[in-house]
Amino acid sequence: MTLREHIRIFRRGGKLCFDFSKTYFLCDVCNIALEALIPFVPIYFSAKLIDALAAHAPLEELFLYALLTVGLVFVLKVISGFLGKKRDILMNLFYLEEDGKFSEKAMHLPYAALEDPEISRIRFRVKRATQTGFNIFYTMNALEGGVRAAVRILASLALTASFFAIRSAGVAVKLGLVLGIFLAAAASILSTKRIQDRQNQFMEEANELNAYEYIHNEYVSHYDAGKDIRLYAMADWLGDEHFNADLKFWKLNAKHSYRNALETVPVTILNDLLKFAVYGVLIHAALLGEITVGSIAKYVSCVTIFIGGISDLTRSALLAFHNNRYLKQYFEYLDIPNHMYKGSLTVEKRDDYDVDIEFRDVSFRYPGTETWALRHINLRFKIGQKLAIVGENGSGKTTFIKLLCRLYDPDEGEILLNGVNIKKYDYGEYMSLFSVVFQDFRLFAFRLGEVVASSRSYDPEKVRECLVKAKFGDRLGSLPEGTETYLYKHFSDKGVEISGGEAQKIALARALYRNAPFILLDEPTAALDPVSEYEVYSNFNSISGQATTVYISHRLASCRFCDKIAVFDQGRIAQSGSHEELYEAAGKYRELWDAQAQYYVKDNGQGVSPASLELG
Ligand code: ADP
């Protein structure tokens, strides 16, 4: 990375910190500056006080200096304490803002990016680095260190300027001292660099261990894993693994700490030699009466602080440089563009659900793959139609739904809404046309009503109606707080556990609540047995009302009630028509149907599955 790029990234990081919480940023920086300034008050006034004592100044003057020292430190400490408290309170806001920005990015990423393995890797790395403090938090850290060092250097320079006016020390002595200061500073820079490099290396090694511990803790603390841990008696083994990871961390830390301690020895010796030389010059000048006794302590303290400041500044700059590598990745992630949001046409809101969608010669390949997941798809949805999409696993059914919902855009052909390419519509408005229940749907651990409405505010009556339609009515009646009941126990002790089947019913109710003109069920029932899937699908058919509903399944029998069935085979629509038409025609549908019917009959041995019933 070039210096220019380092500066650009650091500035952007600083601006982002400022934008997360301006008040936090300002409180923090001002507090750091004040804290760095406080030690100079006693240094300055103690010198004055000693000089006044030596000069037998009146008692009032002595008291004035004592009062100024104590009073000024008191006032500065009160202000800095107030700023520090405010900063601590706002720190959570800062963390939340950062976390929010990260999650928000994930939610607004184009779906294709979420499925892209490279982006997943970047995301994971960024998240992991952030957890150990790299990225934006270390930018703040480096900024704080820079401000602290700058204040120390400037203040000590201001208080030592008069040192160089001492006449009793010759030019050679003064030059020698300046050289000494530079040498001490250079040694300090070198040692700081080595310590910081080691620290960075430690953080990187610790990063791996932290990631391991994070995943380990996630696993053992999740109650799903609790069953496996107990049944397979894994507790001792997992405990040992955790202990070993802790031990590695501790050893790593100890190794770095020892080396760092050794690193500081030569610098300390050099600093002390320098201090000794400064003392020599000062004592000599004081004996000649050229400087006051009070200034001796002042100059020595300031030279020490000055060298410390240089080493702090180096440490902060090195930290910033190192952190910029992570920050660059962080910004790369935040900068992933979203081409999905470009359209601006509004989607006409219609109560009669008269929405016409057509796939016109659509073909699609997943990014980075050679094979066509969909090829030359032509399909038009009739309003209110119950359409089934069937086909073997991998035939392109889910991909078809992803394109319909604009999670991906076609590579060839177009999808039209009321005759206009869907890319031209406002993305959010277009998405609002669909209620989808995917196979891998997730229900959040919020109140049941909120989950069904996908929002904090909801209409309890409508929620209840949808849950009853989705056959969750009985269970709802048994819930202590009705629609206010929390799902799962993450956020409330009174939360209820629900079975997979119940979760599916809630997901179906959520699809109904949205009241969208299109309802898409992408095998949310795949985990159920064929008879139950058939029941859920045919029941849903009677409650989906006017909505155009698309049922997807690899089990043909589950969809036979649909007005139209499209049979997908290797990314193409092999056949379409009603169950009767397709069964009569010898083709893919018949082939699959016979294969599945045979399987069911053999499987349960009684011939009572929906497939066998139909065939019988
Ligand atoms: P179905 O829903 O009928 O089981 P899919 O639409 O999920 O089939 O998959 C169609 C084809 O696209 C399959 O060959 C599958 O391996 C491939 N595919 C699905 N998702 C991805 C993805 N995210 N990246 C690459 N290929 C994918």
Q: Is 570 helix (H, G, I), strand (E, B) or coil?
A: coil
- What atom of ligand 1 comes closest to residue 552's alpha carbon? 2
pLDDT of residue 594: 85
Alpha carbon 521 to its chain centroid, in Å, reads: 30
CA nearest to 381, candidates 551, 217, 210: 551
Residue with tokens 């556990």: 497
Q: 537-576, pLDDT tens digit by residue?
A: 888 888 877 888 999 988 888 888 888 999 999 999 999 9
How many residues does the structure list for the chain? 616
Å from CA of 111 to ligand 1 middle: 14
pLDDT of residue 546: 81
Residue nearest to atom 21 of ligand 1 (CA): 366
pLDDT of residue 71: 95
Residue nearest to atom 25 of ligand 1 (CA): 366
Task: Give the pair of three-digit tokens for residue 596.
Answer: 């599945």
Would you state the torsion angle of the CA atoms of residues 42, 47, 48, 52, taken in this order, to the nearest 10 degrees? 130
Contact 363, 374 (CB under 8 A): yes
Q: 265-307, pLDDT tens digit by residue?
A: 888 888 888 888 888 888 888 888 888 888 888 988 998 898 8
Contact 406, 340 (CB under 8 A): yes
pLDDT of residue 414: 95
Cα atoms in the 13 Å half-sphere on the side-chain side of 470: 25
Domains observed in the chain: 384-394+434-612 (3.40.50.300)
Secondary structure in 3-state letters for 158-211: HHHHHHHHCCCCCHHHHHHHHHHHHHHHHHHHHHHHHHHHHHHHHHHHHHHHHH
Cα angle for residues 92, 97, 98 (degrees, 5° grid): 100
Single-letter amino acid, residue 251: K
Q: Measure the CA–CA gap between 443 and 503, rounded to whole angstroms.
A: 7
Residue nearest to atom 27 of ligand 1 (CA): 366
pLDDT of residue 601: 53
Using most ligand atoms within 8 A of CB, pick from 399, 401, 404, 440 the residue to mutate for ligand 1.
399
Residue nearest to atom 24 of ligand 1 (CA): 366
pLDDT of residue 600: 59
- What atom of ligand 1 comes closest to residue 399's alpha carbon? 6
Pocket (CB within 6 angstroms of ligand 1): 115, 366, 369, 373, 391, 393-399
User: Could you tell me the CA-to-CA distances from 510 to 21, 226, 579 in Å, in that order?
Assistant: 36, 30, 29
- What atom of ligand 1 comes closest to residue 391's alpha carbon? 3
**pLDDT < 70 stretches in the chain:** 132-133, 207, 223-224, 341, 350-353, 527, 598-616
- What atom of ligand 1 comes closest to residue 402's alpha carbon? 6
pLDDT of residue 602: 46
pLDDT of residue 28: 95
Contact 330, 139 (CB under 8 A): no
Residue nearest to atom 5 of ligand 1 (CA): 396
Å from CA of 396 to ligand 1 middle: 6
Residue nearest to atom 10 of ligand 1 (CA): 396
Å from CA of 529 to ligand 1 middle: 23
Q: Is the backbone of residue 391 left (phi > 0), alpha (psi -120 to 50) or beta?
A: left
